Structure 1
């Protein structure tokens, strides 16, 4: 890998991905709201920021995400559902990465191996859901998984060597999870980044469109 783009490069996982890649000698471009003014929920912003970059990139890693919507924490039950909060969750966790995928196409090689991945979450798995709750976040991540799967099919026609995948990073010790980790074992962001990049390196063409955890194990839809 020679050249990578990280969307959400100022976040806990995103910053660790950038640092780990640079330690490996990869040339990395980063984009984030905090440092560059990128708003992934605004297509004009996505188009302008990605349109200013020169590809091709061997890796495009979308590390954005949000647990809160409209200032509200994840719902404990359907009774707490808010239309505004749910719309916010979809805007950040699904529509944003979808817009990035749309405008990233010119930055990916038409031939040769490249990888497009986005951070999903195991709670977005329908088959793995036995607890309920967090309906907005779960639904937005499930929708993101569909975007990745559909995008993989379409990219397979125009960009023969591109692999698309959704990745579950595990519970990472960042500000994103500090109020929700509870009894879950957490890992430092640097360790999570190394785990995820190891999965990226191991992805094969037949894995495109899949959903994988930080160990490289396939997650059920």
Structure 2
């Protein structure tokens, strides 16, 4: 990367985002790192030099629009955007095991975070990305694959991630005309040892439960290898394609 690269990480309060911030800073000290998060800057990255830490709720479309407007006034364009935003469960709801478990209010919360929040940002890709090669990554999940769904269940999460994948794929069609060098990626990080997966780790083999550091390293290693011509990319932590 060049000395003028700007990198944006959205969802900066997560464990994976923290690792992305630390590793990006270590790998490319000259890059200007911008981080968007609902929370204050973590003590885990106080030693990392950032261009800006923005406290912002990505479900708030007006707040996102205002921030984008500020960057445009400042002439800030990004070479790489990575969104780690996502929710699987909360104290109020859990992944559904059967059809009767579907609760529309919970479903809408999951869609708001997993899909709408990313749409709030991706809609500004033509205004935020540089004209030369640029990368926009959203954290998706293998369970968002429609053709690979053999187990069922987890209705809200599956639906929201499938919708997120469709957002990425549809945006890629438009950006082929408007930003020909943009690489769009839906990334499945595997099962990572974070609060999101914690209630569901019992049946995960130890070698398949990854650390945030590992999945961040895998993504940052894979990204430069992805081509515009073969995009958009729906890939796992090994860089292997996942059927849409």
Distance 1:142 1:204 in 2: 22
| Matching residue of 2:15 | 12
Structure 1 residues 70 and 92: alpha-carbon distance in aligned structure 2, compared to 1, 3 A threshold: farther
User: Which of structures 1 and 2 has the bigger CA Rg?
Assistant: 2
Answering whether residue 80 of structure 2 is matched by residue 59 of structure 1, we say yes
Question: Which residue does the alignment assign to 2:106?
Answer: 85
Query: C-alpha displacement at 1:70, in angstroms?
Result: 8.1
Q: Does 1:132 align with 2:135?
A: no
How much has 1:27 moved relative to structure 2?
A: 2.4
Equivalent residue runs for 1:37-116 within 5 Å: 37-53=55-71, 54-68=75-89, 71-110=92-131, 112-116=132-136
Q: Aligned-residue CA RMSD in angstroms?
A: 1.5
Supply the distance in 1 between the matched residues of 2:14 and 2:175 (Cα, whole angstroms): 27
Q: Could you give the per-residue CA deviations for residues 134-158 of structure 1, whole angstroms, max 9, x where no partner exists?
A: 0000000000000000111111111
TM-score of the aligned structures, taking structure 1 as reference length: 0.94
CA pair 147-126 structure 1, distance change in 2 beyond 3 A: same
Aligned to 1:195: 218
Name segments (4+ residues, structure 1) moved above 6 Å.
Answer: none
Matched with 2:26 is 23
Unaligned runs of 5+ in 2: 41-53
> Per-residue deviation at 1:22?
0.4
State the secondary structure of the residue aligned to 2:66.
helix
Query: How far is 1:69 from its partner?
Result: 6.2
CA contact (8 A) 2:134 2:182 kept: yes
Deviation per residue, 1:98-126 (Å, 9 max, x gap) = 1110124311012x111011000001111
Which residue is equivalent to 2:227?
204
Describe the SS at the equivalent of 2:209.
coil
| Displacement after TM superposition at 1:52 (Å) | 2.6
Structure 1 match to 2:242: 219
Q: Distance in 2 between matches of 1:74 and 1:183?
A: 16
Distance 1:161 1:133 in 2: 37
Q: Distance in 2 between matches of 1:160 and 1:220?
A: 23
* SS of residue paired to 1:39: coil
CA distance in 2, matches of 1:218, 1:84: 33
Aligned to 2:44: none
Aligned residues: 220
Gaps of 5+ in 1: none
SS at match of 1:4: strand
